[in-house]
Amino acid sequence: MKLLFDQNLSRRLVGLLDREFPGSRHVVDYGLGTATDREIWDHAAAHGYVIVSKDSDFRQLAFLYGPPPKAIWVRVGNVSTRVVLDLLLQHRELIEEFEGDTEGALLVLPLD
């Protein structure tokens, strides 16, 4: 599964999660650092990515358009990259199940 990290998440996550989610990228890798949410949505759909963001706007796009692509909303507020990394690793199996769910468009991962 390939993840596409939104601008509001650290670029370092790509390298830190390379073993678990090979082929993942950050929006800046595609020149989408200042792109609209819809442009990121369209890029992710065209290239087989699951979007990961702290931005609730992708929740709205997921409900409006449905998959593909899928979106993971990490509801963590202003936290360190390590906290986001740990959250994604903790829920790796759930994320993989979510990718295989043909109807699911949004996965919310709150900080417990």
**pTM for the full predicted model:** 0.95
Q: Report how far residue 53's alpha carbon sits from residue 94's, in angstroms, rounded to the nearest whole number.
A: 16
Domain count, the chain: 1
* pLDDT digit string, tens, across residues 68-108: 999 999 999 899 999 999 999 999 999 999 999 988 999 99
Q: What pLDDT is recorded for position 58?
A: 94
Residue 22 reports pLDDT greater than 90? yes
pLDDT at 77: 87
pLDDT, position 49 = 97
Query: What pLDDT is stored for residue 39 in this prediction?
Result: 97
CA dist list (Å): 38 to 1, 26, 63: 21, 16, 13
**Mean pLDDT confidence for 7-33:** 97
Share of the chain above pLDDT 70, in %: 100
Structural domain containing residue 43? 2-110
